Amino acid sequence: MTAQAAALLAALRQCLGAEQVLCDGDLSAYEIDRRRRYHGRALAVLRPGSTDEVAQVLRLAAAHGVAVVTQGGNTGLVGGSVPDASGAQLLLSLQRLNRVRRLDAANLTLTVEAGCILQAAQEAAASADLLLPLSLAAEGSCTVGGNLATNAGGVQVLRYGNARELCLGLEVVTPHGEIWDGLRGLRKDNTGYDLRDLYIGSEGTLGVITAAVLRLYPQPRAVLTALATCATLEDCLNLLQRAQARSGATLTAFEVMNAQSLALVQQHFAAAALPSMPAAPWTVLLEVSDARNEQHAATLLESLLADAVAAGLIDDALVAQSLTQSRTFWRLRETIPLAQAADGLNIKHDIALPVSRIPAFVVQADAAVQAQCPGARSVNFGHLGDGNLHYNVMAPAGVAPAEFLVANEDAVNRRVYDLVNAHGGSISAEHGIGVLKRDELLRHQSPVALALMQRIKAALDPQGLMNPQRLL
Amino acid sequence: MTAQAAALLAALRQCLGAEQVLCDGDLSAYEIDRRRRYHGRALAVLRPGSTDEVAQVLRLAAAHGVAVVTQGGNTGLVGGSVPDASGAQLLLSLQRLNRVRRLDAANLTLTVEAGCILQAAQEAAASADLLLPLSLAAEGSCTVGGNLATNAGGVQVLRYGNARELCLGLEVVTPHGEIWDGLRGLRKDNTGYDLRDLYIGSEGTLGVITAAVLRLYPQPRAVLTALATCATLEDCLNLLQRAQARSGATLTAFEVMNAQSLALVQQHFAAAALPSMPAAPWTVLLEVSDARNEQHAATLLESLLADAVAAGLIDDALVAQSLTQSRTFWRLRETIPLAQAADGLNIKHDIALPVSRIPAFVVQADAAVQAQCPGARSVNFGHLGDGNLHYNVMAPAGVAPAEFLVANEDAVNRRVYDLVNAHGGSISAEHGIGVLKRDELLRHQSPVALALMQRIKAALDPQGLMNPQRLL
């Protein structure tokens, strides 16, 4: 270790206390990403306990010219939250910055610190009979700060929007170690540039989000789900349009799962599979959240599905008869990523398209993947209502996943992303760019937009110390 | 005119055609703002007909170091869209850039050019049985580009959000004359910094918005309104909370009007007043938009209001029995600003507060205004559901409005805005900053935020030519 690094660590220990500056022992929880694709090494793992301590850390880092990688729950899927292998970057963990600061029921807002686990924030809202609608698979371990830094999506975006739409205000520490207190719980505020939305989704490259004001909603009185099977994606899309027209904002989720997705669940988690549903090319999970009562919700859902059967859009449908059955339907959907993981590595695409382009895209993408690697299996599921597909590609049966990945990942990505681009889509709908998609971003994002982003980065982080090599 | 200015005008005529470079004649429609508080003079009024022509204009302006003020419908209320009095600024009118480029019904999106009149965009959506929910008093003459540049609000924000939330993608010409094509109709897109939201609300100071992809919704099957009278603002707030819990996203508007507002309507537009409603300290206008039918909407509204009467929250209520009666209710609300204008100049505040703080704020603000100028009349109305009040102050009866304004505007603003600040509010909810509120912005916005905004402005508009002296 250089004398300079030693001096920095000494100053950090003085500021945070020695026990919050971790250099030794097993730091793999901080240094390896969730998918275990990136193994980094930090100069130190820092665990500040207050916004002011974060500001002190960033001032020290700026003074020493040392890079800082910020981490919440380390559940990201694009390698954005672990340090590189140099051993020269500071890993700033916000796990201790986890208080619920304030719930204002009449204003429908919740103020939490960045390290607050999403589920804890959900529970704080629920304790006042209110709903924090941000909901995603990692909610038991991801943090609100990470959700905002990556503009997380999830399963209720159709009705409530992404993390961006659920955030009214931020507290941010700039790379210069200044604290911007933008924690306002306002629905309208036109007083200058939209710094809030600039920080949201910037993946820690412009500063550190330390707290946020989140938007809450009244708890719906009844949440009811149904499954329906469709022969084609066009039919799924038609069902979506009918459901939106008929139910307005009552429709809170509209998920699709292809046959291969459900076959994987059957194979690896048979208990989560649903023997009562016939296998079909596509299965839709619909959810309605009703402000009145369960009967009101059931009437809507049943009449919608009956009409869809009559119109030939769906073959079969099943309305959950209880909360337990609703959970069973959701478990089917949520088990797909776990079943994929159990099957081994796969080539993941988290893409968004105009909803109207999805059927054509999938036909073309399936053909392109088969041309590249015959027999590969498309595990295709996601949030059709948001135009967001998790279009993943698995090795053909009998081929080792790791070898398949090495041999095909780049070529498959190229084919899939070129098609996404041709249809006016996005190569990252909700997972962000991180390290994994940086090169693809350079290929697919407009050069004018990239130049604007570079200018903003240089203006706000002139030393280039915040999450370097991420995103840009 | 200098030789340099003459050369610039010659180049502009070559690029746009001489008939689209206006220097002579009555240009007051471009040079005077809607409230007639700012009288500017332009070097020339430019009327490009395409995005490419806008890019050529900005390249010429950059080469000559000449400032450009961008204008849509010139309906803004803060003096942001007219040139200054120097005669040295170019006025860029986007009125001819007014095409509807594309409607994608299955994706629920509409792509329009910036100069498209808001009402024309609404009509394009309606022609496909879809709803563009952005709706405000000036919709017959304001433009979509102006709405986005100022992040306009209006009467349906409670359900659908501001202009920001209704925009999925932008086309922008940068101050360097480059075209950023960000016209993507995606609900999710995490591929870099959120340039879209940075341009939205930046009031033309970072570049020129030339087109946008707007988010549409299925047309509701029934829209029903009701009026209710309340003794206090606390009661209005309680009614709002009940309505939100009971009706979810069906509630599309929740407006309040104080007695003074309605007295003004009665005085100046008696035909718009409602003799059947008893005078009350506060009158609420509720609107529900129902995806099913009128009966369904009426049942909800009637049961909500009956319960509110029983709970002692409201004294009286009237549910519209027809579309015509609904329009009558809205006309009452919409006539308030006209009645104010008929009464003469007044001190306007377009403020936002946490909804929970509004009752306390109004008591304190009324007291502060009376302390400053006894007998002044508070005309207080607005979008309670969004925490957005138009808290306006009129001269005492018998005092000339213009004299009152000169004598009291600064002092009243100071008292009102200091209170807004103390309650965590915003001095500009939906009108923006423009020229009118620049000094107040410097007083009330956080210095850290202002410094960040200055760095962004310098990075994206290094010559400082875009709408100079506006906003920052």
CB interface of B with A, residues 66-125, below 8 Å = 104-109
Chain A residue with CA closest to B240: the answer is: A106
Cβ–Cβ contact A178 with B under 8 A: yes
| Domain limits, CATH 3.30.43.10, in chain B | 3-93
- Residues in A touching B248 (Cβ below 8 Å): 217-218, 220, 249-250, 289-291
| Domain limits, CATH 3.30.70.2190, in chain A | 222-422
Read off the pLDDT of residues A37-94 as tens digits, 9 standing for 90 and up.
899 999 999 999 999 999 999 999 999 999 999 999 999 999 999 999 999 999 999 9
CB interface of A with B, residues 305-324, below 8 Å = none
d(CA A422, CA A438): 19
- Ranges of chain A with pLDDT below 70: none
Question: What is the ipTM metric for this complex?
Answer: 0.96
Chain centroid offset of residue B57 CA: 27
Read off the pLDDT of residues B171-200 as tens digits, 9 standing for 90 and up.
999 999 999 999 999 999 999 999 999 999
Cβ–Cβ of A182/B446 closer than 8 Å?
A: yes
CATH number among 1.20.1290.10, 2.40.37.20, 3.30.43.10, 3.30.70.870, domain B3-93? 3.30.43.10
The C-alpha of A358 sits at a distance from chain B's nearest C-alpha, in angstroms, of 10
- Say whether pLDDT at B432 is over 90: yes
Cβ–Cβ of B192/A471 closer than 8 Å?
A: yes
- The pLDDT confidence band at residue B1, using thresholds 50, 70 and 90, is confident
Read off the pLDDT of residues B70-113 as tens digits, 9 standing for 90 and up.
999 999 999 999 999 999 999 999 999 999 999 999 999 999 99
Size of chain A, expressed as the number of residues it contains: 472
User: Which amino acid would we find at residue B90?
Assistant: L
Read off the pLDDT of residues B33-48 as tens digits, 9 standing for 90 and up.
998 889 999 999 999 9
**CB of B66 within 8 A of CB of B44?**
no
The C-alpha of B15 sits at a distance from chain A's nearest C-alpha, in angstroms, of 23
List all residues 6 or more positions away from B457 whose beta carbon is below 8 Å from its beta carbon.
A193, B205, B206, B464, B472
The pLDDT, as a whole number, for residue A144 is 98
Cβ–Cβ contact A441 with B under 8 A: yes
Cβ–Cβ contact A156 with B under 8 A: no
Cβ–Cβ of A190/B426 closer than 8 Å?
A: yes
Cβ–Cβ of B191/A427 closer than 8 Å?
A: yes
- Say whether pLDDT at B276 is over 90: no
Cβ–Cβ of B354/A427 closer than 8 Å?
A: no
The pLDDT, as a whole number, for residue B464 is 98
CB interface of B with A, residues 235-294, below 8 Å = 237, 241, 244-250, 289-292
The pLDDT, as a whole number, for residue A278 is 79
| Domain limits, CATH 3.30.465.10, in chain B | 100-218
Q: Which residue has the tokens 């995806």?
A: B291
Cβ–Cβ of B161/A165 closer than 8 Å?
A: yes
User: Which amino acid would we find at residue A7?
Assistant: A
- Residues in B touching A182 (Cβ below 8 Å): 446, 449
The C-alpha of B181 sits at a distance from chain A's nearest C-alpha, in angstroms, of 7
Short-list B226, B243, B223, CA closest to B133:
B223
Q: Which residue has the tokens 């909803």?
A: A355
d(CA A13, CA B118): 58
Show the beta-strand stretches assigned E in A384-454. 388-394
**CB of B267 within 8 A of CB of B279?**
no
- The pLDDT confidence band at residue B274, using thresholds 50, 70 and 90, is confident
The pLDDT, as a whole number, for residue B323 is 84
The pLDDT, as a whole number, for residue B322 is 86
- Say whether pLDDT at B370 is over 80: yes
Q: Which residue has the tokens 């840009």?
A: A472
- The pLDDT confidence band at residue B425, using thresholds 50, 70 and 90, is very high
User: Which amino acid would we find at residue B12?
Assistant: L
CATH topology of domain A100-218: 3.30.465
A262: three-class secondary structure by DSSP = helix
Cβ–Cβ contact B174 with A under 8 A: yes
The pLDDT, as a whole number, for residue A411 is 96
Chain B residue with CA closest to A248: the answer is: B291
Q: Which of B166, B179, B191, B463 is the best residue to mutate to test the A interface, defined by the most A CB atoms within 10 Å of its own CB?
A: B191
- Say whether pLDDT at B275 is over 80: no
CATH number among 3.30.230.10, 3.30.300.130, 3.30.70.2190, 3.40.50.2300, domain B222-422? 3.30.70.2190
- Residues in A touching B472 (Cβ below 8 Å): 192
